[in-house]
Amino acid sequence: MPYYHKLGNIPHKRHTQFRRPDGSLYSEQLFSTEGFSSDYSLLYHCHPPTAIIQTEEPYDVMPRIAEEKMLKHRSFEGFKVKPGADFIKSRVPVLVNNDCHVVLAAPTESMTGYFYKNADADEMLFIHEGSGRLLTQYGVIPFAYGDYLVIPRGTIYQLEFENSNNRLLIVESFSPIRFPSRYMSKHGQLLEHSPYCERDIRAPQHLLTTDEKGDFVIRTKKKGRMYHIHYGYHPFDVIGWDGCCYPFAFSIHDFEPITGRVHQPPPVHQTFEAHNFVICSFVPRLYDYHPQSIPAPYNHSNIDSDEVLYYVDGDFMSRKHVTRGMITLHPGGIPHGPHPGTVEKSIGAKETRELAVMIDTFHPLQLTEEALAIENSGYTMSWAE
C-alpha cells in the first residue's frame, strides 16, 4: 500500500549474492502479507531469521464473547479500561467479528525483554494519549497524540513509551489495511481529491541494525493463541531493505476534511479500508455553507453496517454527554441520528472542533465480556430525552 521506500545497504539486484565484510552472505527475506501476489519488501539480515532455539506452550487469548446477537444502540466508557504495565496484557478486545477486532489498551511501560508479532492481523494503533517510538526491523517511527500506526501482519515490533500515561485504540484487521481504492491512481499514487498525500505518510527511519547473538523472545499471536518463540539472533539485525510493504504512521491532524454546501456523507471521512470494514477520521472542519444548511448529520438507517464511533477530543454537536475515549455502537438494522435538540442547536454554527475515529463494519459485531464491564446503561433510550 505505501510507496516504494528503502533504507540501509542493499545489493544492486534482488536474489543475488550480498556479502558481509567477512565474506559470509547476508540472509535475504521476502516479506509480504499476501504471498507473492501483492506488495512486498526484501530485507537483508546479518543472520538467517529462522534460528529458533526454544519454544514454550501457547496460551489462549481469544476474546470472551458475551453477546453474539443484539439490535440496540450501545455506549462504552473506553477510559474505564484499567491501565496495565505490559502492552500485550493491557490489550482489551471490546467489539469483534471475523473481519476485525476493536481493542483498547492502556500500557504504562515500554516493551522490554520481548518482541511482538501478530501473525493473523494487520494492526492499526491510534495514539489517543502518549508518545514514543515504534521499533521494527524496518527502522524507527516516532509517534505522538493523534497518530495512526499501521503495522502489516507478521511485523516484529516493540513500543517504547516516553511516559506511563498511554491510551490506544487498536484495530486488528484479518485482511490488509489499505488506502481507499477511490483515492488511488491505477499506478498506485494518491490522487488529487484524496484528503492526504504521500508527504503525510511517515515511513520508518534510522535503521536499527543489531548484530547480536542470544535468546530473543518473540511473542507471536496466531489463531487466538499466544506463542513464545525464542530466536538465537536479534530480530532487528537488518542491514538494509527496500519495497512497498512496511509499517508507517499517519497523523489524524494531517487529514484534510472535505466539506460542501450541504452536509456531506460519512464516506468523505474515510481514511483506510480493509475487507468488510472501513476506518474514517472526523476532524475539525468548517460547516456547510448553504444558507439553509443544517450542520448536524441527518438521521440515517444502518441496514448494511455496524457503525462504531470512538470519541477522541472536542465538542460533538450531534450527541450529548460525550466523554473522551467513549465508544458508541449503532448496529445495522435500525436508524440512528442526532440526539433530541441538537439539530436545531447546530443551525448557524460555523465550524466543529470534534476529533473522532469511526469504524464501519459490514458484518455484525459481537460484544465481549470486557465491553459489558464498561457499558453506559440507559444509552439505548437516550433519544427519548
Domain identity same for 45 and 151: yes
d(C-alpha 212, C-alpha 228), whole Å = 19
Residues 91, 189 share a domain: yes
Q: Using the 3D structure, point to which of 198, 221, 252 is the last residue of a domain.
A: 252
Q: Which of 228, 230, 253, 263 is catalytic?
A: 263
What backbone phi and psi angles, to 5 degrees, belong to 299? -60, 140
Q: What is the pLDDT of residue 312?
A: 96
Same domain? For 130 and 198 the reply is yes
Q: Where a domain ends, among 232, 252, 272?
A: 252
Residue 318: what pLDDT? 60
Question: Is 263 an annotated catalytic residue?
Answer: yes
Question: Is residue 192 in some structural domain?
Answer: yes
- The verdict on 126 and 230 lying in the same domain is yes
Residue 375 domain-assigned?
yes
Does residue 12 sit within a domain?
Answer: no
- Identify whether 11 is part of a domain: no
Residue 291 shares a structural domain with residue 308: yes
What does the pLDDT read at residue 338?
A: 86
Closest CA to 330 of 270, 268, 266, 373: 266
Statement: residue 383 has pLDDT above 90:
no
306 is in an annotated binding site: yes
- Give buried/exposed letters for 200-216 (b at 16+ CB in 10 A, else e): bbbbbeebbbeeeeeeb
Q: Which residues contact 270 (CB under 8 A, 6 or more apart)?
A: 180, 278, 279, 280
Asked if residue 229 and residue 102 are part of one domain, the reply reads yes
Q: Is there a single domain that holds both residue 160 and residue 226?
A: yes
Average pLDDT, the chain: 94
pLDDT at 320: 65
- Angstrom distance (rounded) from CA 378 to CA 382: 7
Instruction: Return the pLDDT at 347.
Output: 87
Which whole-number Å values give the CA distances from 282 to 8, 50, 121, 376, in the listed order? 37, 43, 25, 23
- Whole-number Cα distances in Å, 168 to 131, 161, 322: 11, 12, 18
pLDDT in tens, 89-108: 999 999 999 999 999 999 99
Number of neighbours of residue 245 by Cβ within 10 angstroms: 23
- Tens-digit pLDDT profile for residues 268-293: 999 999 999 999 999 999 888 898 98
Task: Determine the average pLDDT of the residues in 217-224.
Answer: 97
Evaluate whether 233 touches 191 at the Cβ level (below 8 Å): no
What's the CA gap between 151 and 246, in Å, rounded?
Answer: 7
**pLDDT computed for residue 105 by the predictor:** 98
Check whether residue 305 and residue 261 sit in a common domain: yes
**Residues 238 and 104 occupy one common structural domain:** yes
What local confidence, expressed as pLDDT, does residue 341 receive?
Answer: 82
**76 inside domain:** no
Q: What percent of the chain is predicted at pLDDT more than 70?
A: 98
Both 44 and 183 in a single domain? Answer: yes
Question: Is 193 annotated as a binding-site member?
Answer: no
* Strand 225-233 versus strand 213-222 pairing type: antiparallel
Q: What is the pLDDT of residues 28-87, one digit of tens each?
A: 999 999 888 889 999 999 999 999 999 999 999 999 999 999 999 999 999 999 999 999
Residue 385 reports pLDDT greater than 90: no
* 22: in domain: no
Residue 1 lies in a domain: no
143 falls within a domain: yes
Pairwise pLDDT comparison (251 vs 300), residue with the higher score = 251
Work out the pLDDT band at 382, boundaries 50, 70, 90. confident
Q: Is the pLDDT of residue 152 over 80?
A: yes
How many whole angstroms separate alpha carbon 239 and alpha carbon 324?
Answer: 42
Asked if residue 261 lies in contact with residue 234, where contact means CB atoms within 8 angstroms, the answer is: no
Residue 41's domain is classified under what CATH number? 2.60.120.10
Q: How many domains does the chain have?
A: 2
Convert the pLDDT of each residue in 167-214 to its tens digit: 999 999 999 999 999 999 998 899 999 999 999 999 999 999 999 999
Whether residue 284 sits in one domain with residue 234? no
Final residue before a domain boundary, out of 252, 272, 295: 252
At 10 the three-state DSSP class reads coil
Asked if residue 165 and residue 37 are part of one domain, the reply reads yes
Containing structural domain, residue 369: 256-379
**Residue 153 DSSP one-character state:** T
pLDDT digits (tens, 9 = 90+) for 301-359: 878 899 999 999 987 766 667 899 999 999 999 988 888 888 888 888 888 889 999 99
On whether 300 is known to bind a ligand per the annotation, the reply is yes
